[in-house]
Structure 1
């Protein structure tokens, strides 16, 4: 994780930047979601009286806003995503490649999040809050996919930090949307390195900060105009990211004009929560190797007889010897001899038993490999030895000691006088 000192430095600079305004982010006690609407109505009545006084100022600022919009539109690339973010290959080939990769994340996350459904991480059982978060974001295979389970566990840690910092539930819902958007960008932008993705993350947060300057509330990725796919590629029936605006206007803020400062402080905390996960090259490359370049596998529909082969030899069954009665000691009929267990016959039985054990061990190994491929994501295949050697190179081999040579002429003159 990144150093705590960096976060403290950023907060100090933010406090210094906002100290000139003379406002402080002072919030009242957390209230229920039902009271948000009543507080919003009171704020609208108070702002209606000041609306007439700000008409002249808004006309002057309107021209500046139009210039800003024109600049942003001019900076947008003609093709999204650009080749620096996503590989340029036909979509047909890309779909074929996806069929041979292991499942890591759902195709689409749920975007309509109810803030009241977010669990309190510190006071909820682990299994219960994992199930709740899975239902909130739409992860359905977390019980069989380690990648989805890691995603939910990481999301729970982010919410734990947000709740310890006393962020309200609507802000936590926005945090969930931004984290889901960032994970989808990592999975979708397969041609970008860490430097390029960090620049993308910086641009996203700057867009969110510009939205706060205009609306004085924390935006969702859709509100800030952030998409990991081109807008025309999004299905028509897919719901947009939705957190009611009346929930994200900081209803707990009682001082007029402090909503901008509180929203900016919360956005700074969200930036640090997400950045801490990818603050080093090793962390970023490890997550990227699992969620973007997951190991491939080949599915072969073979017959049942090959999937479940029969054993070559039947298991040996030793029958217990029966005690012979004295009457059975009579010699047998002529021409019939008892089978004698010779050494060659015993060696053949041992060979059959050994082959049967080897066959069972091979079947267990094949069954384990099949379980890894069909149920559980093999994370050890995603990061191989070459990946770890880049960060922790193996120690150099120990030098081989050279053999000591005996001095010439030693021991030759023992018999001479």
Structure 2
């Protein structure tokens, strides 16, 4: 039976929410729809009364592709909603702060994609993203959030995918990064229990990568072919990314976050950069003061050290490989550190933040891709005597429900 629903607000996952609650995808506050409702979710939605904030989505795949949830929303209210998600997450922990306007990021700027590959019954290979709330694959021909050079490379990437679809149980994902020296592709999800790729398939993948002029091709971190080292710049340093290594998805978002991190650490005497990766913040921070950089990824630490070698004009950098979840840096390890920057994965950094709270650090800058875990960790710092001075949301993942942020604390 179909029901008429009025959308009260847009929820944290980007769906419209009607009383019940009923989650209605691709809708906005104030809209009236008719839909089939099952287990609190609406399907087969017919829009009866559109919101004045609705606009035409710019991508032909919108609505089926699960990569974007909010292309139909005008920019100003959309960015305000992202800021509101941060305010709500902080409020649930009883935290108030100066919430700066959300930093908007333009389309056609994303430099990293995770493309799923499948072979169809007729033998054709498709690349795409998962459908909304589904494991089904939506083949794509374009992507309006991505750098045009990634879109232009899709035919070449399909040929790469075809070379590794050797086993019916393989479900490859191509992790594609646009670097200053070309495309870096790391492939995961290739069936290994039956022996992995055959020698012939490996050679075919290598030949295809060379024909596609990839900078590097790797298989779950194992380098198969490299014509050029895939390099990026952090501050004044040129760094070769480790295979499958972390990199911020959008250069403009990275620049916005670096700017706010540097603003937060002004006057620092010695800085700890925790969950540092290959040095996204480390090198800019070293323009301010000496830096202790730590991360569990040994490849990232090695890349950071190599990027530091021979680089002049920066303060000293000490880089260590250490699992900060299992072995967080203690107050003893942080002796002499007056400023800490941390940028953990989505799970947050509770164990490490507890150690920071017990240290002598007087300034902390947190970078996060998850306002909920950031708020949890912020509560620990505030309870230890820090004040959360300001938070700036950054819309790195355009038209998705995800929001990044930078927050500054002072003891």
- TM category, shorter: under 0.3
Q: Larger radius of gyration, structure 1 or 2?
A: 1
TM-score, L = length of structure 2 = 0.20
Ranked by relative contact order (alpha carbons within 8 Å, sequence separation 6 or more), the top structure is 1
Greater percentage in strand: 2
TM-score, L = length of structure 1 = 0.20
